[in-house]
Structure formats: structure tokens, C-alpha cells
A = this chain, B = another copy of it.
Amino acid sequence: MNEVFSTPIEIRFAHCDPAGIVFYPRYFELINGVVEDWCGHALGMSFHEMHVVKDIGLPTVHIETDFVKTSVLGDRLTAQLRVLKLGRASVTVEIRMVGEKNDLRLRAELVLVMAHVRDRKAIALPEVLRTQMQRFVVVDAIS
């Protein structure tokens, strides 16, 4: 428990708006990419395996985000993911993005639900996935 999944993020030209800062919908593409990397690189079940092989997915049903500090073209951020709550079919994760001086750029909290792609009904998280997710549970959050 208490593990943190970290992955680097580079702010690219495609992410920035006419004000020269990240256009916030692009942050959500990046956030989705963090969840995608977490599943594929740390949990052992890639989005390809979920969507193409198993016909399941992990849609986001709730998200709240504080954009604490702007990021600009060329910034090198680190995204950090922790699990705040692990349910039967859902998992609540926190994602932080910080700059090179560990300065907080944004903090997001997402509720993800495991679901069948075809009928869009929630199902229990596969045990293999749930077991891996437990490594990232913040202990304070569940005690």
C-alpha cells in the first residue's frame, strides 16, 4: 500500500492556447493518459486488453479538478497517481501534476467505474486488477 504511480509529462505545443498556457481540456487528455499508463504499466492490464480483448472499460463518472498554477510550453511535469478509495466496481484516484520544483500545477480526483463496453453496465473490478490497485491505496484515506 501507499505506493505512488509516477509518470513524466511534457507540455507540448498542441496543449497550449492563445494565452500560451495549457488549454484545460488538454489536461484531461493528459489525465486520461495517466490512468491509461497506470493500467498498462503498473496494473498489468492495458487499455488495449480491456477494450479490444475483453470488451470492458474504465469510464470516468465524476471528476473534480483544481488548476492551482498554469503550465507553459516546454514545462516538464510529473504526474502522481494514488488510490483514495477502492470499491467493488469503482475506484477513486487522485492525480497530481507537479513542476520541476515540485510545485503543484493541478490536483484532480476521479471516480472510475469498471463497465462492459457493449451494454455500458457496471461490473465488479476483475480480481487481478483490484489486487494490483490495492498497492496504490493511501492508507490514511481508508482508516
Can you name the residue of chain B whose Cβ is closest to the Cβ of A120?
A: B70
List of B residues within 8 angstroms of A26 by Cβ: 25
List of B residues within 8 angstroms of A64 by Cβ: 62-65
Interface of A is mostly: mixed
Output the least CB separation between A93 and chain B (Å): 14
List of B residues within 8 angstroms of A67 by Cβ: 59-63
- Residues A36 and B12 in contact, CB atoms below 8 Å apart: yes
List of B residues within 8 angstroms of A66 by Cβ: 61-62
**What bracket does the count of chain A residues touching chain B fall in?**
35 or more
Output the least CB separation between A13 and chain B (Å): 5
B13, B21, B36: the one within 8 Å of A32 (CB): B13
- Residues B13 and A47 in contact, CB atoms below 8 Å apart: yes
A:50-83 near B, CB below 8 Å? 51-52, 57, 59-67, 70, 72-74
